[in-house]
Amino acid sequence: MGTAFWKLSAVELAEGIRRRDFSSSEVLTSVLGRIRAENPRLNAITVDCSEDAMQDAERADAAIRRGESLGALHGVPVTIKENADQRGKATPNGIPAFAQLIAPDDSPIVANLRRAGAIIVGRTNVPEFSMRATTDNPLRGRTVNPWREDVSPGGSSGGAGAAAAAGFGPIHHGNDIGGSLRFPSFACGVATVKPTQGRVPAFNPTATGERGILAQLMSVQGAICREVRDVRLATRVMAHGDPRDPWWVPAPFDWPNEPRSAIALTRATHGYPMHPDIDAALTRAADCLRDAGYVVDEVDTPSILEPAQGWFDVAVYEIKMTLDAIARQHGSATVQNIFGWYYTLGNLVDADGYRAGIADRTRMTRAWSVFLARYPLVLSPFLMRPTFPWNYDAESEANVHDLFRSAIYSVGVNYLGLPAGVVPAGYAAELPAGVQLIGRRFREDLILDAMEAVEARLGVMAHAMWEA
C-alpha cells in the first residue's frame, strides 16, 4: 500500500518534492484517489481538473529533473472556488444561467498559485451568488460536511472547507465578505485567515462591471487549510501583486520578529445567548495562548455590535441595490426568500444613509485601530452557537436572524476591514468549533503565530476525524 500523501501538509509536500523524496505525480495520484473515494459522498469538488492536473504534475517532475528553480508550492495540489476565474473553466457562482460563463484568463489568485507551482485538482462548490452561510445550489447541488451529514459545511466557501477537512489536498481557495472563509473553517474544523483588504489582489476577467464600494472594501481572497502553517504559506503566495487590482497594497507579509503580543479576550455577547461550549472553547484557547507565553487579559473592546449593525443596515442595503434584481431574475425561490430575510436583519438605510454609513465606518475602524495599538490581537468568539443544520437559513426568517445575530463577530470584522483568523478549539454540541483572532491591519503574521500556538496544543482537528 502506497504512502498516504493526501494526509500531508503543503509545507511537507513542497519540501518532499523539492528534496525528491517523492514526486508530484505520486502526490497527485494519492490526492486524486482520496477525491474519487470521498467526493461522491461530499460533493465538495464540482469540477474535476484531474486530467490537466496529471499533465501539470508530469511537467513539475520534469522541471525537478532539469534542476530548474522552483516555486514555493511546486507540485502541490490546490482547489479553486467556483466564483473565481480559472482560464478555460466556467465561473457560474452557483447559478444555472451562468453555467457557460467561461473565464478568458486566470484571476490574480489563480495566477499567483500557478506561478508558485501549485497544481489545480478541481473547483469547489458555492451557494447561489456565494451569499449563504451554507453551500447548496440548483446547478451543482449540496455539499456535505465531512463530520456529519445533517449539518452545514458553512458557506459560501463550503466546498473548500469540506475539501480541506476530507483530505482533497492541503490548500483550498476561498473568499469572504461576511464570513465565507471563516464559517466553513468553523463548521469543518479547519483553519483560515481572512486577510486585510488590499493584501491579496482580486479581479475576475468575466466581470461585466465593478462591485459596490462596500463589497470592494469588505470582500477578500484567502485560503482554507487543515494546518495553520499551510494557511501562512498559501496566503503569502496569493498576496503577490497584480496590476489588475489597483487597490492591492505592497505591505510586507513577514515582519521582523517581536515579543509575544498582548491579547485581549472578549466574551461580550451583546444579548445573544452564547452556547456554553463556545465559552469553553474561548477559555481553552486562552489557556493555550498563555502556555505559549502570551499575556491574555479579559477586557472590554470597542463594540463589535456597532459595525455588525453597519453590515446589516448599510452593507445589506448595497447588496439589495446591486444583487436583488439579478437574484430575482436568475436565483431560485430559496435564495430569493433568503435575500428577503436578509433585508430584515437591520434597518436598511436610504441613499443618504448609505453615504453617511460609509463615512461613519471610518470612525468605528479608528476606534478598533486605537485599541489594537494597545492589544495587537483580540481573541473573540466567531459563531456564538454550534454549527447549524445544513438548510437552517432556508427554513425561516427567524433562523436567518438567529444565525446572523450569533455571527456579529464575523460580519462586524468585515465591516471594519480588519484581518481575522479562525482556528479549531474543541467541540460545541459534539461538532467542531473554532475561535477567532482579530488583528491589526496587515498583521496576518501575528494572527497566524497565535493560531499556531493554539493548534500546537490542541492538535490538527481533521487528523482526529480521520483516526476516529
Express each pLDDT in 226-282 by its tens digit. 999 999 999 999 999 999 999 999 999 999 988 888 999 999 999 999 999 999 999
Phi, psi (rounded to 5 degrees) for 50: -65, -35
Q: What percent of the chain has pLDDT over 70?
A: 100
- Structural domains of the chain, with CATH: 5-467 (3.90.1300.10)
Task: Give the CA radius of gyration of the chain.
Answer: 21
Asked whether 426 and 418 are in contact (CB, 8 A), the reply is no
Joined grid coordinates for residue 448: 497566524
- The catalytic residues are 81, 156, 180
The whole-number pLDDT of residue 259 equals 86
pLDDT single digits (tens) 336-392: 999 999 999 999 999 999 999 999 999 999 999 999 999 999 999 999 999 999 999
Joined grid coordinates for residue 74: 511546486
Band (2; pLDDT cuts 50, 70, 90): low
The whole-number pLDDT of residue 1 equals 45
The DSSP letter of residue 178 is S
Q: What is the mean pLDDT of residues 201-209?
A: 97
| Predicted structure pTM score | 0.98
- Closest to 56 measured CA to CA, from 136, 122, 11: 122
pLDDT single digits (tens) 11-41: 999 999 999 999 999 999 999 999 999 999 9
Distance CA 304, CA 406 (A): 12
Band (468; pLDDT cuts 50, 70, 90): confident
